[in-house]
């Protein structure tokens, strides 16, 4: 069966009885489900899907670029309108797309489903904002079949689809985008911002960039920011055309900040886009959006190409969570940060050869090319000997000067990497990202409250369900934060070893350069 010919639009996969019923009906999950199922249909049993209308063509698909990426969503998209500032065809991952960020703070809010009203739809104040969006698939459910299939399409059911490797396949695209030096899409940014914000589970949230214009998300954020005594920090990645920026909302001082890693780029729609997003998130709250936009972007490291804006958003967000001042452009290399971000996502059994931040040319003793020796004459007239000696010495001095220059450049790179890696370690070791007792205390309070409710003679099922949900949400975020912190500890250990190796290389190279410079000075004096 080809999905296009079932007579049902893609959202039908999300209604009761559909294999994706446990998935929230969001734009990201629609794109993920449609593209993944279409790809499986294309690969399995020789199934042939028609080209166009979002179905993958036969043969390899070219890698998308930020300038032109077709949306894979089938049919119309009236239920999920895009902002006028965002090209709806932009930002979709190549086949298959990345998985939704696990346990996204706002990415799993259940939006209204097409042609289905759920009695379990929650009001804003009860929204489950932390449950995993990757629910277990129901392999026993079959899709409704169209009564008649034409164009030689093969009839299959959901039982014929293999979802066993879905999460790893979807995650691979995110890692590849990072390591290949490509533009990061919304899935990669959402995944990593949520991962790092889990280090501060009680006072930090990140918003899935595909959901920042959705009313339920806006109301949930407004509710959290307006809570009495709130010290919440919300990271809001915003895409304007092909460029990502980061907006930070801080409840402590009711401030709106934003970071743009390409401030010189002409984006006339950017101020209006920031105001549009923020007005939805802080509607009715006393935040001065206009002043933030008028002040312009805060100082942050600039990107030196056209593809690192997503990396800059993640790095700036991590600095914000770490409560650490952002470095200058010379003290931040987004290319090196890509290695850090990829190492946060790579499977543990693949970490061995993917940890060091030191390039190979700085990890081994440098090799000096002495070139080919000039042929030495067997005999010379006494009157020619002195000139020959001076020529040989001059040639040797020239080679020594070239060698000293090369080693000095190597020494400069070594020192630069030491500075960059030292800064990365300082961010990852920031006290603001270390665990505290507040989370455990909150979990204990919720556990005690749940036990008290269950001990009553007449158990209130609504109260019990609400407490169980809050406990599960907090425990999930605590588990994600612990896993993130454990991976960071592994990286910190490797990066400190890198610094020790660079220190040895720096010391040995400096001694060699100093000795060669002395020899060079003596050789120059002897020539004169």
pLDDT at 466: 87
Question: For residue 2, is pLDDT > 60?
Answer: no
In a domain, 83, yes or no: no
299, 392: one domain = no
Q: Which helix (H) or strand (E) holds 113?
A: none
Lowest pLDDT segment from 77-86, 267-276, 349-358, 436-445? 77-86
Name the pLDDT band for 17 (thresholds 50, 70, 90). Answer: very low
Number of separate domains in the chain: 2
352, 268: one domain = no
353, 315: one domain = no
Average pLDDT over residues 248-264: 91
Q: How do residues 306-318 score in pLDDT, each as one tens digit?
A: 999 999 999 999 9
pTM: 0.68
- SS3 per residue for 306-322: CCCHHHHHHHHHHHHHC
In a domain, 74, yes or no: no
Q: Identify the three-state secondary structure at position 29.
A: helix
Q: Write phi, then psi, for 235 (nearest 5 degrees).
A: -95, 125
240, 187: one domain = yes
Name the pLDDT band for 477 (thresholds 50, 70, 90). Answer: confident
In a domain, 277, yes or no: yes
In a domain, 461, yes or no: yes
398, 491: one domain = yes
Q: Nearest CA to 294 among 279, 274, 264?
A: 274
CATH of the domain at 257: 3.40.395.10
Average pLDDT over residues 380-396: 86
The encoded tokens of residue 357 equal: 């931040």
448, 476: one domain = yes
In a domain, 134, yes or no: no
393, 490: one domain = yes
357, 449: one domain = yes
Average pLDDT over residues 182-191: 92
Q: Nearest CA to 359 among 286, 416, 442?
A: 416
352, 306: one domain = no
Contact (Cβ atoms closer than 8 angstroms) between residue 47 and residue 112: no
Q: Identify the three-state secondary structure at position 18.
A: coil
In a domain, 55, yes or no: no
CATH of the domain at 418: 1.10.287
Lowest pLDDT segment from 81-85, 257-261, 427-431, 468-472? 81-85
294, 182: one domain = yes
Higher model confidence: residue 514 or residue 161? 514
In a domain, 332, yes or no: no
Q: Write phi, then psi, for 21 (nearest 5 degrees).
A: -60, -35
168, 275: one domain = yes
In a domain, 67, yes or no: no
458, 398: one domain = yes
Q: Nearest CA to 423 among 358, 327, 309, 339?
A: 327
Contact (Cβ atoms closer than 8 angstroms) between residue 159 and residue 145: no
Question: For residue 259, is pLDDT > 70?
Answer: yes
The sheet that has 233-240: what strands, in order across it? 204-206, 233-240, 243-250, 255-259
In angstroms, the CA 118 to CA 129 distance is 18
Range of the domain at 317: 164-326
Q: How do residues 86-126 score in pLDDT, each as one tens digit?
A: 333 333 333 333 333 333 333 333 333 223 333 333 333 33
Q: How do residues 208-225 score in pLDDT, each as one tens digit?
A: 988 888 888 888 888 888
């Amino acid at each position: 069966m080809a999905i296009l010919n079932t007579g049902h639009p893609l959202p039908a996969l999300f209604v009761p009885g559909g294999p994706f019923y446990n998935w929230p009906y969001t734009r990201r999950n629609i794109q993920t489900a449609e593209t993944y199922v279409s790809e499986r249909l294309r690969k399995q049993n020789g199934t042939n899907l028609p080209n166009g209308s979002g179905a993958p063509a036969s043969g390899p698909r070219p890698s998308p670029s930020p300038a032109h990426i077709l949306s894979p969503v089938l049919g119309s998209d009236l239920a999920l309108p895009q902002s006028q500032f965002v090209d709806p065809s932009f930002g979709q991952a190549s086949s298959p797309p990345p998985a939704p960020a696990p346990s996204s703070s706002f990415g799993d809010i259940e939006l209204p489903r097409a042609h289905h009203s759920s009695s379990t739809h929650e009001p804003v104040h009860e929204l489950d904002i932390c449950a995993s969006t990757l629910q277990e698939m129901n392999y026993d459910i079959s899709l409704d079949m169209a009564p008649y299939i034409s164009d030689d399409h093969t009839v299959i059911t959901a039982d014929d689809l293999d979802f066993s490797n879905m999460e790893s396949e979807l995650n691979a695209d995110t890692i590849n985008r990072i390591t290949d030096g490509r533009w990061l899409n919304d899935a990669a940014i959402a995944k990593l911002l949520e991962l790092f914000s889990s280090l501060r589970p009680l006072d930090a949230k990140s918003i899935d960039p595909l959901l920042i214009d959705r009313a339920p998300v806006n109301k949930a954020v407004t509710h959290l920011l307006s809570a009495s005594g709130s010290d919440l920090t919300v990271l809001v990645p915003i895409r304007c055309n092909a460029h990502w920026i980061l907006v930070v909302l801080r409840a402590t001082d009711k401030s709106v900040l934003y970071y743009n890693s390409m401030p010189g780029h002409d984006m006339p729609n950017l101020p209006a886009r920031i105001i549009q997003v923020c007005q939805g998130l802080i509607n009715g709250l006393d935040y001065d959006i206009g002043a933030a936009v008028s002040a312009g972007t805060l100082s942050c490291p600039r990107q030196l190409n056209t593809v690192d804006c997503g990396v800059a958003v993640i790095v700036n967000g991590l600095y914000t969570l770490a409560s650490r001042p952002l470095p200058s452009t010379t003290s931040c290399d987004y290319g090196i940060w890509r290695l850090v971000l990829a190492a946060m996502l790579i499977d543990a059994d693949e970490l061995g050869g993917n940890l060091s931040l030191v390039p190979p040319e700085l990890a081994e003793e440098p090799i000096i090319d002495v070139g080919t020796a000039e042929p030495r004459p067997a005999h010379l007239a006494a009157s020619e000997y002195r000139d020959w000696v001076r020529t040989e010495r001059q040639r040797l001095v020239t080679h020594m000067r070239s060698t000293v220059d090369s080693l000095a450049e190597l020494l400069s790179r070594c020192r630069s990497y030491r500075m960059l890696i030292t800064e990365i370690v300082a961010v990852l070791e920031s006290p603001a990202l270390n665990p505290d007792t507040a989370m455990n205390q909150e979990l204990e309070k919720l556990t005690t409250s749940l036990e008290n409710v269950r001990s009553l003679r007449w158990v209130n099922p609504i109260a019990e369900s609400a407490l169980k949900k809050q406990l599960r949400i907090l425990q999930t975020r605590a588990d994600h934060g612990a896993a993130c912190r454990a991976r960071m500890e592994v990286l910190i250990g490797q990066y400190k070893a890198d610094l020790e190796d660079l220190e040895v290389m720096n010391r040995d190279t400096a001694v060699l350069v100093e000795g060669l410079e002395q020899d060079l000075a003596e050789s120059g004096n002897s020539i004169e």
